[in-house]
A = this chain, B = another copy of it.
Amino acid sequence: MGFREHLEEVVSRVDGALGCTLMGVDGIEVETHLTEAAGPDLRTLLVEYSTLLRLAREAAQAHQAGDLKELTIQTGGVLTVARLVTPEYFLAVALQPEGNFGKARYLLRITAPKLEAEL
Contact = CB atoms under 8 A, between A and B. Distances in A.
Interface residues of A, number: 30
Contacts of A65: 39, 41, 45, 75-78
Can you tell how many copies of this chain the complex includes? 2
A49 to B, nearest CB: 6
Contact of A78 (B44, B49, B66, B71): B66
A64 B77 contact: yes
B74 A70 contact: yes
Interface string A53-73: 001100110111111111111
A52 interface: yes
A51 interface: yes
A69 B64 contact: no
A87 to B, nearest CB: 12
Contacts of A51: 55, 59
A117 to B, nearest CB: 21
